[in-house]
Amino acid sequence: MTDCSNIEIREWLPEYLNGMPGAARRAEVESHLASCEDCREELAMLRLVREAFAPTPAVDVAAIVSALPKRTRGPVMRSWRQSQVFQVAAAVSFIALGGISLAVARSFFNGEPTVVAVDTLRTATPGSDFMPAISFSGGVSDLEDEDIEALLTALETIEALPVTESSEVLMTGTGRQGS
């Protein structure tokens, strides 16, 4: 086996074997191979080496994936919290205004385009379960995760209450939440 003097082509053989170069380069290598026995022999030898190291030791892709760090922890958790804080703050402040249409809070949760309708005359039903949960001082962002979850659970119960009639469209917004 002698070495071909076309160094450039020889340098491309390992990549050619692994399918790496672009179409034009492949065509160039193939055209040279058609007329060069030395390079054909060298390529055959490289292929033999590659095949000698196959089969690859088995790897269990599913097992590897399940061992990977979960993306739902860390940054995603933080953005979840920020998003929830925003939702609660929005819902609570409107309730504090008094007499929010309960459909409003719901539209915030769904992240859909929001039409905020306010019945200025009514207040949220007194004595209902969610009231103690939202009687806190300080900003919503001061709450612990558990408090926010409790608050959200309490707010869920609002949906079970009769929906008040909207009397006035106050504002519109997209209600978009970070994801």
Q: Which residues bind other proteins (CB under 8 A)?
A: 1, 14-15, 17-20, 42, 45-46, 48-54, 56-65, 67-69, 71-72, 75-76
Q: Phi and psi dihedrals of 25, rounded to 5?
A: -65, -40
Quote the CA–CA distance of 53 and 28 in Å, as a whole number: 28
**Cβ nearer to other proteins, comparing 21 with 107:** 21
Quote the CA–CA distance of 158 and 97 in Å, as a whole number: 16
Query: Which residues inside 26-55 make contact with Zn ion, applying CB under 5 A?
Result: 36, 38-39
Residue 151 CB contacts under 8 Å (≥ 6 apart), including other chains: 88, 92, 133, 134, 143
Binding residue (CB under 5 A) for Zn ion from 4, 103, 152, 170: 4
**Helix-helix angle 102-110:145-158, to 10 degrees:** 130
Look at residue 39 and give the partner it binds from Zn ion, other proteins, none, a contact being a CB closer than 5 to 8 Å depending on partner kind: Zn ion
**From residue 52 to residue 71, what is the string marking binding to Zn ion with x (rule CB under 5 A)?**
--------------------
6 binds Zn ion, rule: CB under 5 A: yes
Are 107 and 158 in contact by the 8 Å Cβ rule? The answer is no
Q: How far is the CB of 54 from other proteins (least distance, A)?
A: 7
Binding interface with Zn ion (CB under 5 A): 4, 6, 36, 38-39
